[in-house]
Structure 1
Amino acid sequence: MAHVRKEGNTWYYYIDLGRDQNGKRMIKKKRGFKSEKEAKKALTEIMYEIDKGTYVEPSSLLFRDFLNQWLDHKEKIKKLKGTSLFQLRTLTRTHISPALGHIKLSDLNQLHIQSFLNESIDKGLSDVTVQRFYTMINDALKYAVKFGLLSKNVCDFIERPSIEKKQMNFWNVDEVKQFLSVAKDERNYIVFHLALTTGMRQCEILGLTWDNVDLKKGLIYVRQQLLRNTKKFSTLKTKASNRNIAISDETIAILKSHKKRIAEERLMSDSNYTEMNLVCPTSNGTPYLTGNITKIFKRLIKKAGVKEIRFHDCRHTFASLLLQHQNTNPKIVAEILGHSNVRTTLDTYSHLLPNMQQETVKQFGNMLFGN
């Protein structure tokens, strides 16, 4: 038996589902509908779910508590990499939970999520971050459906946010030389030198330890990274990220000089020095905060009088110099950068390829027809 009734200024629906296995009558009742039509629509939907056997009893679990359970599941069962889990927990704590955490999991709808995504865009958050919000919420709700906490995933009714491809910034050879010339007297010069001569990510540079540097063979073994603004190391995201990078004689000499300087600082320091065997530590042995590196980087850019770029653009600069000026095979560039697939490299730097093709054709012509 089911019906819709008016109660004061609102409407409600009532369903009698008979008795359960213990003989207790099962009643479903929901109030607060603004119109009879709205209440009937909700009643029809729930009756349809009951007939199909897909009805799920609404849970009082708050979305923030559910997200924490989901993240625990990702950590224990899915064995998510440390850095990825750290990022998910950070985004949940700083953005998603404050906006949506107070809503019951069973009450969360597409309007809530779409409004959150729109507000995130209005705040100026990047396209990548907003898309990551959507992906996280979508994956979490898929988990809720799988384990019977929800009957449907409302993200199925929301369009995945798109990412606008932004113009890539990088330095030319003269700008790199000018910046390195100005930065060479900085204590943390090695951070910027490695970024521009190896293409390593900032987290990989700040997490690099001396046992992963072979000065005799001229190799850096990229095996771990530093979690952002922490003293914790993490394994890398993909197999390809674990790579060996050959370094030049100049870089070997700079690393040797830097290692000697660190050893002298350690001897001269008091008991506050923290030994973490880092290649790029602060003066007391601890890892640099990424924000501090960014401040130093911006200061040096201004001093050098070169075009302003992000620290991550040092990686793009390194790749562009290999592709444009050295005509390096994209497959080799992919291996050095730690890309899982050469297609990633080609997609990222496709704007450089026409110039490379022109130079290649010119050299080929010279080979066959040149004097």
Structure 2
Amino acid sequence: MPVYKDENAKANKWYYSFSYKDNGKYKKKLKRGFKTKKEAEAAMTEAKDAMNKGVYVEPSKTLYAEFMKSWLEDKGLNVRKSTFQTYSYYVNSHIVPALGHLEISKITPRDIQSFYNEVKSSGSLSSENLRKLHTVINDSLNKAQKWDMIIRNPASLVDPPKVNKKEVEVWDEDDIKTFLDAAKNSRYYAVFLLALTTGMRRGEILGLRWKDIDEENETISIVQTMDMNGELNIGAKTSAGNRRLSVDKNTLNQVLRLKAIYKQELMANRPVYNSEHDLVIRTSVGTPLYPRNLNRAFYAMIKKSEVKKIRFHDLRHTHASLLLKQGVNPKIVSERLGHANVRITLDTYSHLLPNLQKDTVAEFGKMFYAQNE
């Protein structure tokens, strides 16, 4: 086997060398820089196999940092601004500092796995964000493979980091009543109601426009959303997110009451008032309400009401849990939440299902034996 050890090299001492025929002429193929003999043998076998199949790609010497810069630029044309910012954070703060110095063709599965191990042990990212980090690396190296810069995507040989599933926190009926009683005079009472009675996401509520509300049919259409940076985007991230929701009369009336309040604020602040966005939820001068400011108001209200502290997103979970407890078909719950499929709903709220099943069996038993007495 033409694999050799370079005694003069300080590191990565193994290399392979073999001759091959190209257009009737013999050529020599040599590649250095392997850490072990096994790595060199595997790479040589792969190169020979690719040559025999006529698909051999000359490995690129481009640094991964250089490639990721162009990959990000390309991504910027096809994803939302908020998504692009997230990708940029992962690339510039984590991926490039760890792997950017490597030639893209020399990145091995071991390099990537060691990087994941280091991130996990440092605790710098949650398991969910570590999984997203893997998604970015895998996607970028897939593109490099399609562009014939590498023979094979090394990230595809690494197991995606496992996400530690968090149990959702929800309020019970007493918590909800206590919180809403305390929040009745809050400017954002309608926001809290919408989250609890429709399961809308924070960004969906903050991006809601008056023209998205059908008063006659008592429905709300999810058309526009707001991201974490306060940017408004038309369309949800997934097709399932674009949906129409039925809303109860009491909640709808609370939302419609805001029109009269905004008219008064417009008169009081006319020189600086801005209503160009047609937003249902806005500040006293008509501008969009930023997510961080809503969070601040929400946590202040939790403190005032003295209920269990949960995230704003958990109001959505609370809505789902109430529906499931009422025996609503999970498919309907999934549609209201805008999940891509019902499996996501079942996985998210699986901790509720054993109790729901017990209640269902108890009710079935009452009905069954009553009929047979």
Shift of residue 221, structure 1, vs aligned partner: 0.7
In the alignment, what sits opposite 1:296?
Answer: 297
Equivalent-residue separation in structure 2 for 1:223 and 1:9 (angstroms): 60
In the alignment, what sits opposite 1:341?
Answer: 341
In the alignment, what sits opposite 1:100?
Answer: 99
Alignment of structure 1 residues 182-331 onto 2, 5 Å: 182-269=182-269, 271-275=271-275, 276-324=277-325, 326-331=326-331
Shift of residue 178, structure 1, vs aligned partner: 0.9
Distance 1:119 1:20, change over 3 A: same
In the alignment, what sits opposite 1:110?
Answer: 109
In the alignment, what sits opposite 1:52?
Answer: 50
Equivalent-residue separation in structure 2 for 1:9 and 1:91 (angstroms): 32
Shift of residue 105, structure 1, vs aligned partner: 1.8
Distance 1:60 1:330, change over 3 A: same
Shift of residue 318, structure 1, vs aligned partner: 0.5
Shift of residue 315, structure 1, vs aligned partner: 0.7
* Deviation per residue, 1:151-201 (Å, 9 max, x gap): 122123322211222222100011011111112222223222211111001
Equivalent-residue separation in structure 1 for 2:124 and 2:316 (angstroms): 24
Give the structure-2-normalised TM-score.
Answer: 0.83
User: Which amino acid letter does the alignment assign opposite residue 67 of structure 1?
Assistant: M
User: Which amino acid letter does the alignment assign opposite residue 45 of structure 1?
Assistant: A
Name structure 1 gaps, 5 residues minimum.
Answer: none
Secondary structure of 1:240's aligned partner: helix
Name structure 2 gaps, 5 residues minimum.
Answer: none
Distance 1:56 1:223, change over 3 A: same
C-alpha contact (below 8 Å) 1:82/1:234 kept by paired residues: no
* Deviation per residue, 1:37-58 (Å, 9 max, x gap): x479637734751463255333
Alignment of structure 1 residues 32-181 onto 2, 5 Å: 38=36, 42=40, 45-46=43-44, 49-50=47-48, 52-53=50-51, 55-71=56-72, 73=74, 84=83, 87-121=86-120, 122-181=122-181
Equivalent-residue separation in structure 2 for 1:263 and 1:301 (angstroms): 29
Give the structure-1-normalised TM-score.
Answer: 0.83
Distance 1:90 1:273, change over 3 A: farther
* Deviation per residue, 1:331-367 (Å, 9 max, x gap): 2211211123222222222222233333334434444
Equivalent-residue separation in structure 2 for 1:152 and 1:354 (angstroms): 45
Query: 162-171 or 97-106, which moves further after superposition?
Result: 97-106
C-alpha contact (below 8 Å) 2:230/2:291 kept by paired residues: no
C-alpha contact (below 8 Å) 1:4/1:40 kept by paired residues: no
Equivalent-residue separation in structure 2 for 1:231 and 1:156 (angstroms): 34
Distance 1:2 1:231, change over 3 A: closer
* Deviation per residue, 1:231-252 (Å, 9 max, x gap): 2314213222221111122112
Equivalent-residue separation in structure 1 for 2:38 and 2:353 (angstroms): 60
